[in-house]
Structure 1
Amino acid sequence: MNLPHHPPERARSHGRVASGDERRRVAIPRRSTKGPLDADVDDPLAESAPSIRPPIPQRERVLSPTRSEASPLSPHDGVKSPIVDMPPKDFSFMQDPQAYHVLPATNIPPPFLNAPNVPLVSAPLDVLLQGGHYRLAAIAAARRIVSATAPTDHETLFHLVHVRLACLCLIAEHALAAQESKVLGDLNSTFYRHPLTDAHIVPWELRLLVVRLAALGYGEWRKGIMGYYELARECRENLVKTGSDDGKPLWRTRLRDCGIRVANVLVEMGDLESAGRHLSTLSEAADSRELLIMETLVWLRVGDMQAARRCLASASVIDSDEVVDGTLYALLQLANSEYTNATLSFQALHRNHPENAMITQNLAVCLLYTGHISEALELLLELVEDAPPFHSLVFNLSTIFELCTEKNRDRKVALTEKLASRKTDGAVGWEIANADFKL
C-alpha cells in the first residue's frame, strides 16, 4: 500500500502565504517514493530488529509503577527534547469537564465495588496504577485534568490524558475512550507542532493510542490503518533527518511497530488473510522471530495449518524457546482436532514448567475436550490460588462450573468474593467484569 508523498488535504498554491495555514503551503514536484512500510534498500525493516527495544522515556511509560508523580517530567522524545523554549500555549480546551464521562459500575460484581481493601480515589496516581486499580486511576486522572493542572502545562495534561485513555482501554471501555480522545482534536494540526523546530509536542505513545481508538472505538478500520501509515511516514522522514546514529534505532523501532499495528487492525477487523500476508512482508524484510511468531498465530486463526507450520519452523531456525514453540506446536495439534496429542504435549510442558499459567490453562482446556472435566476443574482451581487471575482463566473456570453443577451461580458468586478479597500485586487488573464470570 503506497501513500502520496504529500498529505491529500493540502491544496496546491503559489506565492507568499500565511505561515500558520498548513493547507496553503507551496507545492513541490512529486518524487517517486514507496509507502512508509514498503521495503527498499534503506528500509530499516530490512535490518534485523534489536533484541531489546530501546527504553521508552518515563513520560511515555503511562502505567509504570516506578515513576513518582513528584519526579521531573522528561521530554516525550527519546532523541532530543522537541519542546525546549516552548512558547506558552493555552490547552484549557482539554480541561472541559463535559469531555470526560462518568464510568458505569453496572458491569462490575458488587464484591469488587464494596471490597474493604480498595484504595481511595485520592490516592497517588502511581499507587493506583501499581495496584491494578485502573478504574480508580481513570477517575483520578480525569479529576486532575479538570482541576489540578495549569492550562499551559501541556506535558502534564498529555500525560494525564494518556493515563485516562489507557486505563479506559484496560477496563474494556473502548467506546468511552474513543469519544474522550476527540478532546485532542486533529493531532496533525500545526497547533501541536513546535513553532521553531516543527517537532511534534504530543508523546508518541499517546498518538499511537489515539489512532487505535479511532479504529477500535468506532469501527473505522481504514482510518486506523491510514493513521498508522501516516505515523510510519513520519518515522521514515525522521530517519532521513537524523544526522547521527544515536536517534536512528528509536525511529527504526517505531517504524517496525507501526507495521505490526497495521496487522493488528487487520486482525481486529476480521481480515486475517490480509494480516498474514502483511506480516509475511515484514518478516521477510526484518527476518524477525517475533514477527514470524505473530504470523503463525494469524495463520492459526485463519485455519491454514500448513502456513502456520512453515512460519513456526522458520522462527525456530532463528531461535528456539521451549515454552513458546512447544505451546504453538500443541495449539497446531489442537487446531487439527488432535485432542489427545495436544493433551500429551501440554502435559509434557506442564511437567517442565509447572508455574506457567498459560500452559496450565491450555492443559485444562485440552482435558476438558477429552472428557476429563474433574481434572480440568482441579487445575483451574489450583491456578486461581497460585497465580494472578486473568480474564480467560476466570471465563473458563466459570464455564466448567456450568458443566459440573446446576448451582453454578453460587460457585461463580463465591469466586467473585474470593477474588475481590485478594491482595493485589499489580500483575493484572484488579477488577474483573461480570462478563468474565458469565453472570
Structure 2
Amino acid sequence: MASHGRINSTDERRRGAYIACPVAIPRRSTKGPLDVDDDPLAALAAQTAPPTSSRLHSPSRPSHSPAPRSRLTSPPPSDTGLPVRLHDHAPLLKDFSFLQDASAYHVLPASTVPPPFLNAPNIPSVASPIDTLLLSGHYRLAAIAAARNLVANTPATDYTTLFHLLHIRLSCLCLINEHALAAQEAKVFGDLNSSFYYRDDGDGGARGHLVPWELRVLVVRLAALGYGEWRKGIMGYYELARECREAFSKAEDDAEKEVWRTRLRDCGVRVANVLVEMGDLEGAGRHLAGLDAGGEEGQDTRLMETLVWLRLGDVAAARRCLASASTSTSTPDALLDGTLHALLHLADGSPSAAVSAFSALRTTFPSDAMVAQNLAVCLLYTGRIAEARSLLQDLVDESAPFHSLVFNLSTIYELCTERNREGKMELARKMAARRGDGGVGWEMSNADFKL
C-alpha cells in the first residue's frame, strides 16, 4: 500500500487549479486575542447555543442521475447554527481532487478485532446507506463506505460532500480506536490555514472557511497525534480561539455571538485536555481555573477542573472546585455531585466510604450503569471480588455495554481464574451477538477484552 506524505501547503498545484478565480486571495489581517472590545467570555450567555445533532448524516443522491452516485440518504449538515447570509456573487469553484487520492486512505486492519465480531451473523453489508451504518453503531463499516464514496462517487468540486465524508471517515476511525490511522489520513488536508481553504463572495461578501468547524477542530487534534507533538495541538486550538474572538467581534446579532462564545470556550477546554495528555496536570488545572466560571457553562468547567485535580492528587483543590460548581447553579445535579463526592472518598484512600456512597447512589439511581460500575470497582478495592463480578455480569445483561465495563469485567476474570481467556471469549461472543442500537458502538477491540 502506498504511503502518503504530508502535502506542502504552499504548493497550490497539489491542491488543484481554480475553476473560476480571477485573483489570488491573500491571507486576511488578524488581531490578537486581547484586541476584542467585547470579550466573548466576559458576558454571561442569556441562553445556550443551539444544540448540534450528534447524528451524522450523509449527502443525498441527485434524482436526475442516470446511475446511483452513492448509497447515501440525507444531506450533509451545514455549519453549526450560524445565520445564513445571501450574496449576489457566485461562489468560486475549486478542484479538491487531491482529497480523493486512494493512497491516502488505509485498509483497516482486522487483527485488532476479536473473531466473534468478524464472524457475527448480523453484520450489515458495507453497501448499506451510511446513515444506517451509523445509526446501528457499525462505525468500521461506515468508515469503509465513506472512503469508497469519497474516492469514487463524488465530484472533485463538491467540497461540501467531500468534507462531510472525510468527517465521517475520521470520526469513525477514532470511534473504533484507530487514532493512528486517522492521524495519518488527516494529513491529506495539508495546512488548513492556507488561503486555498477560504472563500470570498466578492466585494462586500463574507470571507469564511470552507471546512466545517467541527471537522477543523478534529483535524487539529489529529495533527498533534500524527506528528507526535502535543504542542502542535495546543497551537492549533489557540489559532481557532483567535478566529473565534475575531468572528465574535464582527457578529451582527446575539445568536451568532453566542455560537462563537461557545466555540471559544470549547477550544479552552480542549487545551486543558491536551495538557492532561501531555502529563502536565498542574498546568491543566491552572488553565481551567483561568477560564471564566460564570453561568451554566462555567459549572461544567469547574466539574472538569475537579476531575483534573483528582488526577493530580490534590484532593483539597478538587473539593474547592466541586463546592464552587455546586453553588454556581440553582438546580444541582444530585447524580453528578454524588458521584464526584464518592470519587473524593476513593481519592482519600477510603474505599469503604466510597462503597457506601456509591451504594446510596445506586439505591437512588438503580438504572444508571456508570454508578453500578463504579460501585463494582470500589467493591474490588475492598476485596469483595465475587460481588464485583456478579454486579458487572448483571450489568452486561441489563444495559448497553461500554468499553470500560468490558475492560473491568475482563480484569476480574484474570483475577478469578487462570483460564480467563475462555471467559473473555464468551463475553466477546455475547457482545457480538447483540444487534447494534446506535447507543454505543457495536464493535469492540481486542484491547477492550484484554486479549
Flag whether TM exceeds 0.5 (same fold): yes
Alignment of 1:79-158 (within 5 A): 79-81=82-84, 85-158=90-163
Q: Which residue of 2 aligns with 1:55?
A: 51
Contact persistence 1:82–1:199 (CA under 8 A): no
User: In the alignment, is residue 248 of structure 1 matched against residue 257 of structure 2?
Assistant: yes
Deviation at 1:153, TM superposition (A): 0.7
Deviation at 1:22, TM superposition (A): 3.5
Instruction: Report the residue type matching 1:75 in the other structure.
Output: S
**Secondary structure at the residue paired with 2:120?**
coil
1:401 to 1:71, Cα distance in 2 relative to 1, 3 A: closer
Structure 2 residue corresponding to 1:302, chosen from 289, 309, 312: 312
Contact persistence 2:354–2:378 (CA under 8 A): yes
User: In the alignment, is residue 344 of structure 1 matched against residue 337 of structure 2?
Assistant: no
- CA-to-partner distance for each residue in 1:182-204, whole Å, 9 max, x for gaps? 11121111111113232111100
User: In the alignment, is residue 418 of structure 1 matched against residue 430 of structure 2?
Assistant: yes
Deviation at 1:67, TM superposition (A): 10
Deviation at 1:213, TM superposition (A): 0.5
Deviation at 1:420, TM superposition (A): 0.4
Deviation at 1:42, TM superposition (A): 2.6
- Matched residue pairs, number? 412
Q: Which residue of 2 aligns with 1:44?
A: 40
Instruction: Report the residue type matching 2:300 in the other structure.
Output: E
Whole-angstrom CA distance in 1 between matches of 2:241 and 2:46: 18
Deviation at 1:47, TM superposition (A): 2.8
- CA-to-partner distance for each residue in 1:48-82, whole Å, 9 max, x for gaps? 346744233x7xx5636999944444532532347
Q: Which residue of 2 aligns with 1:382?
A: 394
User: In the alignment, is residue 225 of structure 1 matched against residue 237 of structure 2?
Assistant: no
1:430 to 1:313, Cα distance in 2 relative to 1, 3 A: same
Alignment of 1:198-347 (within 5 A): 198-284=207-293, 288-319=298-329, 320-347=332-359
Q: Which residue of 1 aligns with 2:406?
A: 394
Segment drifting more, 180-189 vs 297-306? 180-189
Contact persistence 1:215–1:265 (CA under 8 A): no
Q: Which residue of 1 aligns with 2:365?
A: 353
Whole-angstrom CA distance in 2 between matches of 1:402 and 1:371: 15
**What stretches of structure 2 of length at least 5 have no aligned partner?**
1-9, 11-21, 62-71
Instruction: Report the residue type matching 1:20 in the other structure.
Output: A
CA RMSD across the alignment: 2.4
Whole-angstrom CA distance in 1 between matches of 2:408 and 2:140: 24
Query: TM (normalized to structure 2)?
Result: 0.86
Deviation at 1:296, TM superposition (A): 0.1
Structure 2 residue corresponding to 1:78, chosen from 61, 64, 81: 81
Deviation at 1:117, TM superposition (A): 0.4
Q: Which residue of 2 aligns with 1:4?
A: none
Q: Which residue of 2 aligns with 1:191?
A: 196
Whole-angstrom CA distance in 1 between matches of 2:180 and 2:23: 37
Instruction: Report the residue type matching 1:79 in the other structure.
Output: L
Instruction: Report the residue type matching 1:172 in the other structure.
Output: N
Query: TM (normalized to structure 1)?
Result: 0.88
Whole-angstrom CA distance in 1 between matches of 2:281 and 2:401: 29
Deviation at 1:355, TM superposition (A): 0.6
**Secondary structure at the residue paired with 1:152?**
coil
Contact persistence 1:177–1:213 (CA under 8 A): yes
Alignment of 1:142-181 (within 5 A): 142-181=147-186
Whole-angstrom CA distance in 2 between matches of 1:338 and 1:51: 41
Whole-angstrom CA distance in 2 between matches of 1:237 and 1:309: 36
**Secondary structure at the residue paired with 1:425?**
coil
- CA-to-partner distance for each residue in 1:407-430, whole Å, 9 max, x for gaps? 111111111111100112111111
Q: Which residue of 2 aligns with 1:433?
A: 445
Whole-angstrom CA distance in 2 between matches of 1:322 and 1:193: 46
Whole-angstrom CA distance in 2 between matches of 1:175 and 1:221: 14
Instruction: Report the residue type matching 1:100 in the other structure.
Output: Y
**What stretches of structure 1 of length at least 5 have no aligned partner?**
1-8, 10-17
Segment drifting more, 289-298 vs 277-286? 277-286
- CA-to-partner distance for each residue in 1:300-353, whole Å, 9 max, x for gaps? 000000000000001111231111110101001001110111100000001111
**Secondary structure at the residue paired with 1:435?**
coil
1:75 to 1:368, Cα distance in 2 relative to 1, 3 A: closer
Q: Which residue of 2 aligns with 1:403?
A: 415
Whole-angstrom CA distance in 2 between matches of 1:435 and 1:168: 15
